[in-house]
Amino acid sequence: MPAIKNLEGLSGEEINFELSNGGKFVIYTYCISIIVMTFKRSSDIYFIKSSESSLKNGLVFTLISALFGWWGIPWGPIYTIGAFITNFSGGKDVTQEVIASLNAAPAEIPVPVTA
């Protein structure tokens, strides 16, 4: 799972409080084009408190797409516009997926046996 940003200094209780008051986990998209190749990527996960705007964290990724995303034909402009739409709408909400992942039981890790 990608790293989760903006959780520094928050306890589990504080995170649950924020989530119950409208906080969320989001990812942003960006694209980079190099001549005829276009790469569409997602950011790390960002925790957005209920009192914060989710637009400010996405501005960096929007700027990356605006500067480097357009140049690959035909997918550069298509992916760049998609990144703009996602980022200007506050990012893609992945709260349910993050909560499900955090609540999942940890998988058993096999212990290597030495001979």
Identity (one letter) of the amino acid at 60? Answer: V
Sheet strand arrangement including 24-27: 4-5, 45-48, 24-27, 92-93
Q: What is the pLDDT of residue 3?
A: 81
Q: What is the pLDDT of residue 35?
A: 82
Domain ranges of the chain: 4-103
Q: What is the pLDDT of residue 103?
A: 80
91: Cβ contacts below 8 Å, ≥ 6 apart: 26, 27, 28, 43, 46, 48, 54, 57, 58
Backbone φ and ψ for 98, nearest 5 degrees, come out as -65, -45
Those residues of the chain that have pLDDT short of 70 are 1-2, 105-115
Q: What is the pLDDT of residue 90?
A: 95
